[in-house]
Each structure stands twice: as C-alpha cells, then as structure tokens.
Amino acid sequence: MLVKEHAMPSHPAIAKNRVAIVTGAASGIGLAAAERFADAGMKLVLVDLDRDALRTAAGMLDQKTDVLPVVCDVGNRAAVEALVGQVYDRFGDVAILMNNAGREGGGQLFAEHARWQAILQTNLWGVINGIQAFAPRMIAQGTAGAIISTGSKQGITCPPGDTAYNVSKAGVKVATEALAHELRNTEGCKVSAHLLIPGFTFTGFTRVKHQEKPDGAWLPEQVIDKLVEGMAKGDFYILCPDNDVTAEMDRKRITWAAQDITENRPPLSRWHPDYEDAFERFMKE
C-alpha cells in the first residue's frame, strides 16, 4: 500500500493506525479530509446519507486503508449514538471526529418551516449530536484527539438571503467554542477542538451553479492543507482565504460585522445603503 507523504507537521491525533471519523465524507471537503487522513495511515469511518456516493468513496479509499462506511443521518441523535457503538466495536478508538456534514443554503427568513428544519437538523444538530455522543468517550481514552467542526464565514458575517444557513453555522461556531472551553478545563484532557471556516470552495454545492471550477474558488484539498496546518499550530479558528478573498479582507469584514454592535450601527450595515461608502473606505484603510 502506497502512502502519500505530506512534509508539513501534523497534530498528534493524525497518526498511523488511529481512527478518523468524517461526516459528509462522500464528496467535497469531507472526502478531501478522508483522503488526507488515509494518506497519513489512519483508519477511516466514512459517514454520509448518499449511499451510492459513499460506496464510491469507500471503494476508492479502501485501497489505502481500513474503511468503515456508514449511512447515517447525523441530525438523528439515535443514529449518531448507534454510530458510536459501531465505531468502538470495530476499532476501539477515535482520534479525530470531523463534524462536516451539511446542507446548502436557501433558507431565507420566510422560507417554509420544513426547509429551516432540514438545514438546522443537519448543519447544527449534526454537530451537537457528534460532540455530545463522541467527546466524552474520546476524552476518556486519554490519548491525543481532535474534534473538528466545519463552520462558515456566513455564520460570522451573516449576509442577507441565507438566514437559516447562517443561523445553523453561527450555532456551529458557538457550540464548538464552548467545546474548546470545556476541553481545556477538563483535567488530563488531550483532545483539542477546531473550527474550520472555508472560503469559496469548489464542492458539490458549487457545482449546482458552476460545472467547472471558478477562478476564485479553492479546491477542497487546499482547504484541508489549511486545516492540517492550523491544527499543527494549535489554532482553533482556521479561517481559509480563497483566490478572490484574502486573509486581510476576511479580517476586515469580520471586524466590521462585530462593530455593528460596538458602534451601534444598524444590523448587517455592510449591506445597508447608508453605510456603503463607509464600508468601502474601511476596506481600503
């Protein structure tokens, strides 16, 4: 079995023969993460709702490592608790839990209730279920571990139009921040928490609008490069730029959003016509 080597240092949980669970693993960022963990010699638990795509991903990755594919709705707490049993019965260990499964946006403020429920159930409850079901077992192992949640810049700056998605990803940020606090205050805990915040990335969601990769988008593999680099440095917030948006632009946009409160501006003032010129000046400073 040939294993691709990556020169960059890694988090101690990314280790040969240890186990990585990736939800939403059949495509996009999840699949790229699974490939990277396999290249490091890790065993994999691939979790997805798309049975056919999951079978394809598992067939590709089981040439590199031991793979357990599981069709699971992460928004269903009973299903996630059953997943815990499956994983520990098979491997007896979890080094990495990557809560990555998600639904795309489209949940405007007055969208139908079912749309809101579906987005929140997967994007937010999927992360909460994963944390609550796996974190206590991972802490009790006494070994190096990492819990990664895939967030979004939309959960921080909250652009108008995708309100349900924004709410779900804002919740992911808050839940994962609370997890990091809990872990660092648990005596003897060797598990870290990380919030992955991708930029514009060419995934299955993007392909709905673009058949070919837009110039401005990163590939999923670039996002995982940034994730692994950030984890190795001990970063919690792993904020990814892309080919259009620089790290400095991200910092300024996030700062402006936070200052809506501290400066007593109207909410979402970045998109308010009265603040258009002020925002433009701020970005140029």
pLDDT (average), residues 85-108: 95
Question: What is the edge-to-edge ordering of all strands in the sheet holding 43-48?
Answer: 67-71, 43-48, 19-23, 96-99, 145-150, 191-197, 237-239
Residue 258, number of CB atoms within 10 A of its CB: 12
pLDDT in tens, 236-251: 999 999 999 999 999 9
Residue 211 in this model has a pLDDT that exceeds 90 = no
- Report d(CA 28, CA 172) in Å as an integer: 19
pLDDT at residue 206, as a whole number: 44
**For the segment 98-143, what is each residue's pLDDT rounded down to a tens digit?**
999 999 888 899 999 999 999 999 999 999 999 999 999 999 999 9
Residue 2, pLDDT > 60, answer no
Region 38-55 average pLDDT: 98
Q: State the CB neighbour count (10 A cutoff) for residue 124.
A: 22
Mean pLDDT computed over every residue of the chain = 94
Which candidate in 88, 165, 237, 275 is catalytic? 165
Question: Comparing C-alpha atoms, which of 174, 200, 180, 211 is closest to residue 29?
Answer: 200
- pLDDT tens profile 15-25: 999 999 999 99
Mean pLDDT of 167-171: 98
Instruction: Report the pLDDT value the prediction gives residue 3, as an integer from 0 to 100.
Output: 40
Quickly state the pLDDT bin for 204 (edges 50, 70, 90). Answer: low
Contact 15, 40 (CB under 8 A): yes
User: Domain residues of the chain, as ranges?
Assistant: 19-245, 246-285
Active site residue 165: yes
Class of domain 19-245: alpha beta
Side-chain half-sphere of 171: how many Cα atoms within 13 Å?
A: 18
